[in-house]
Amino acid sequence: MSNPSQNDLSTIDVVLHEDRKFPPPEGLIATANMRDPNIYDRANADVVGFWESAASRLNWYRHWDTALDWDPVGVHARWFVGGTLNASYNCVDRHMNTWRQNKAAIIWEGEPGEVRTLTYRDLYREVNRTAAMLRRIGVNKGDRVAIYMPMVPELAIALLACARIGAPHTVIFAGFSAESLRDRILDSQSSVLLTADGGWRAGKIIDLKGIANDAVAQCPAIKKVVTYQRLGSAVHHVQMEAGRDIWWDEALDQTKETYIEPEQVDSEHPLFILYTSGTTGKPKGQMHTTGGYLTDVALTSSWIFDIKDSDVYWCTADIGWVTGHSYIVYGPMANGATCVMYEGGPGFPDKDRYWSIIEKHGVSILYTAPTSIRTFMRWGEEYPNKHDMSSLRILGTVGEPINPEAWMWYNRVIGKENCPIVDTWWQTETGGIMITPLPALVATKPGSATRPFPGIVADVVDRAGNSVPNNTGGYLVIKHPWPGMSRTIWGDHERYIKTYWEQFPGIYLTGDGARRDDDGYFWLLGRIDDVVNISGHRIGTMEVESALVSDPSVAEAAVIGVPHEIKGQGIVAFVTLKSGNTPSEEKAQELREHVAKVIGALARPEKIYFTAELPKTRSAKIMRRLLRDIAEGRVLGDTTTLADPNILAEIKQLYEDEQ
Ligand code: WTA
């Protein structure tokens, strides 16, 4: 995997000729939660009926009147209309009436090594106390609560406590900067922020409270900030502001109620807002509602990961991303699963941390990302081989296309050729997994996410919206509404329509390219818009560009994604400085840090090239496509629309000089 762009091409080549097939293991065919091969046909014959029967897995206070009310023109989807329920009740309370009350809900490991186990009863107690605290500080049904926390159990508890009182949460990943946090708090009009004094990552402290203070200073609507003490003042001192700030534990102790009646919310009541990057500088707040979303994630968790009561399930994502929302908290907990939660980095204190967690807790289902698998490959087999991981029985991946080489390594070294791999394609917008094998029913092929989940109507179409023949690339679209779909972009329904529903009316445009093979398997080909996928996380190139031009020395910037050996893609920026500024290595370093400060470390460019000008069309549009061609060493595409073709030759020279 030395030359990333070559690797990319050879991957595509392998993918085109991939004919290895791995059938489901015999044992699973007899025992899996979903093992009826007719399920696909049955679901297709009656998509709405299929999801309706899935909704019966949940406890409803009031049964719905209509399963789906769909207006493809205004783009309003309402699922299980007239039904009322509560997500916290479904993830916690209902297990109280069963033996599961004493079952481990969360097995948590802090990065320094401490372990906390919370049973469903513990979770129930803490969710109630936290809900009572939120009420006491003035959070009412419908109020938004921003959450900026490390991976501690209180983060999962906070989500469920918000759900309990009908207050939509908006979680901001703890790697985001003060500015990103501020923008999301402002956009969601949150009145309360839940945070922590810090967290551990790769042996270092992340100063969450310091960042939160900087953000909140510019958020006048925030009335209260509740700070969980993860580190303690002996380790890390933080600044508290009288009147606004309270410590989590003190706030809990002051609250006497031990039971908060779950709000009986409408099926379409907002459960959460989660921001994701798009093609403009402004992140989009995807709004998910209660009944449909919970139905979707409860069913997909059960069937795809085959979670049973005897399983120990570990999703390595952060709850700050949709994967953590759907497949650490809501989906698994609606199924009463035992979930492992880990706070820190994979390489701390040594490169076998994940494998030691699996051995210690007997993890049987592991859900992780291709970027992590590639990192582990590079670190070497000796790290997993030090541990007994025979408890594993199902492996999952998510976040980006998995290259067949990484797939085969995952299968052989981690799964011992004994665990089906579920490569799950989905998005923040889709709420739940959309394209995936069902482990007892679908033979897998390395690099393919295989088939749409039952009840998901996916297709690959051309520009005109016509289905393309097999083995031809096109736009991946979803042709029928599904319960987990994002209902709108918070505060901007027009943008929601424009981004996803305008190109093909009534059809959801995913933003990904795909190809279907002769077996009907889907092969994801990556984003087709100006979004890059860094270690499975989406960053809009425009966001990075606006971060760059917010530096006083920058006149213009163009940002592209280039293949990256570990991260999948990396960010490369072409920057024109304002006169009076000189390009230098220091300047490049300064700008890289500037981007990390404005957005967060994950958006830090790998490389910055200084150019006198950027290639633009005569209408002044930056031609990123040409920059991508240069970066990937391809023959330059059509340059006839360029205002000044000479610029390109200069950039090309600059790029090649550095390689
Ligand atoms: C990409 C993460 C190929 C895709 C759940 C999508 C994938 C974006 C896969 C969503 C996969 C995610 N194979 N590509 N298995 N999973 N993607 O919103 O480009 O953070 O559009 O949701 O990640 O990223 P998001």
Centroid of ligand 1 to alpha carbon of 197 (angstroms): 31
Asked whether the predicted pLDDT for residue 2 surpasses 60, the reply is no
User: pLDDT value at position 137?
Assistant: 96
CA 159 to chain centre: 16
pLDDT band at 10, cuts 50/70/90? very low
Asked whether the predicted pLDDT for residue 208 surpasses 60, the reply is yes
Residue 366 near ligand 1, beta carbon < 6 Å = no
Residues 219 and 4: their CA atoms lie apart, in Å, by 43
User: pLDDT value at position 482?
Assistant: 98
Residues 655 and 558: their CA atoms lie apart, in Å, by 14
The contacts of residue 546 (CB under 8 Å, 6+ apart) are 281
User: pLDDT value at position 15?
Assistant: 57
**Which of 54-58, 261-265, 626-630 bottoms out in mean pLDDT, i.e. has the lowest?**
626-630
User: pLDDT value at position 656?
Assistant: 76
pTM of the model: 0.93
Task: Parse the chain into domains and list their residue ranges.
Answer: 26-514, 535-657
Asked whether the predicted pLDDT for residue 262 surpasses 70, the reply is yes
User: pLDDT value at position 4?
Assistant: 36
Residue 399 near ligand 1, beta carbon < 6 Å = yes
Mutate to test the pocket of ligand 1, among 425, 486, 531, 532 (most ligand atoms within 8 A of CB): 425
- Mean pLDDT on 612-640: 79
Prior bond of 349 cis (ω within 30°): yes
Residues 305 and 249: their CA atoms lie apart, in Å, by 35
Residues 130 and 528: their CA atoms lie apart, in Å, by 42
User: pLDDT value at position 614?
Assistant: 87
Asked whether the predicted pLDDT for residue 129 surpasses 80, the reply is yes
Residues 129 and 127: their CA atoms lie apart, in Å, by 6
Q: Are both 26-514 and 535-657 of the same fold? A: no
- Mean pLDDT on 320-327: 98
Place of tokens 């500088």: 281
Asked whether the predicted pLDDT for residue 224 surpasses 70, the reply is yes
Q: In this structure, which topology does domain 26-514 adopt according to CATH? A: Rossmann fold (3.40.50)
User: pLDDT value at position 239?
Assistant: 97
User: pLDDT value at position 3?
Assistant: 35
User: pLDDT value at position 633?
Assistant: 77
pLDDT band at 5, cuts 50/70/90? very low
Asked whether the predicted pLDDT for residue 526 surpasses 70, the reply is yes
Residues in the chain: 659
Task: Specify the residue with its C-alpha closest to ligand 1, atom 23.
Answer: 399
State pLDDT tens for residues 425-440: 999 999 999 999 999 9
Three-state DSSP state, 148: strand
pLDDT band at 177, cuts 50/70/90? very high
- Mean pLDDT on 289-302: 99
Asked whether the predicted pLDDT for residue 632 surpasses 60, the reply is yes
Residue 538 near ligand 1, beta carbon < 6 Å = yes
3-state helix, strand, coil in the chain (%, to 5): 35, 25, 40
Centroid of ligand 1 to alpha carbon of 398 (angstroms): 7
- The dihedral through the CA atoms of 199, 200, 205, 211 has a sign that is negative
User: pLDDT value at position 6?
Assistant: 38
| Ligand 1 atom having least distance to the Cα of 526 | 19
Centroid of ligand 1 to alpha carbon of 368 (angstroms): 12
- Mean pLDDT on 222-245: 96
- Mean pLDDT on 551-580: 93
User: pLDDT value at position 433?
Assistant: 98
The CA distances from residue 70 to 268, 481, 492, in Å, are: 13, 8, 19
Task: Specify the residue with its C-alpha closest to ligand 1, atom 10.
Answer: 427
State pLDDT tens for residues 134-147: 999 999 999 999 99
| Ligand 1 atom having least distance to the Cα of 276 | 18
pLDDT band at 627, cuts 50/70/90? confident
Task: Specify the residue with its C-alpha closest to ligand 1, atom 3.
Answer: 401
Asked whether the predicted pLDDT for residue 607 surpasses 70, the reply is yes
Residue 400 near ligand 1, beta carbon < 6 Å = yes
Task: Specify the residue with its C-alpha closest to ligand 1, atom 5.
Answer: 427
**Range ranked top by mean pLDDT from 75-84, 273-282, 553-562, 649-658:** 75-84
Query: Is residue 291 a contact partner of residue 58, using CB atoms and an 8 Å limit?
Result: yes
Residue 11 near ligand 1, beta carbon < 6 Å = no
Residues 262 and 93: their CA atoms lie apart, in Å, by 9
Residues 94 and 89: their CA atoms lie apart, in Å, by 6
Query: Is residue 89 a contact partner of residue 291, using CB atoms and an 8 Å limit?
Result: no
The contacts of residue 253 (CB under 8 Å, 6+ apart) are none
* Three-state SS letters, 293-353: HHHHHHHHHHHHCCCCCCCEEEECCCCCCHHHHHHHHHHHHHCCCEEEEECCCCCCCCCCH
Average pLDDT, the chain: 94
Residues 512 and 529: their CA atoms lie apart, in Å, by 8
User: pLDDT value at position 630?
Assistant: 82
Residue 295 near ligand 1, beta carbon < 6 Å = no
Task: Specify the residue with its C-alpha closest to ligand 1, atom 24.
Answer: 427
**Which of 176-190, 219-233, 636-650 bottoms out in mean pLDDT, i.e. has the lowest?**
636-650
Class of domain 535-657: alpha beta
Residue 427 near ligand 1, beta carbon < 6 Å = yes
User: pLDDT value at position 642?
Assistant: 73
pLDDT band at 283, cuts 50/70/90? confident
Asked whether the predicted pLDDT for residue 7 surpasses 50, the reply is no
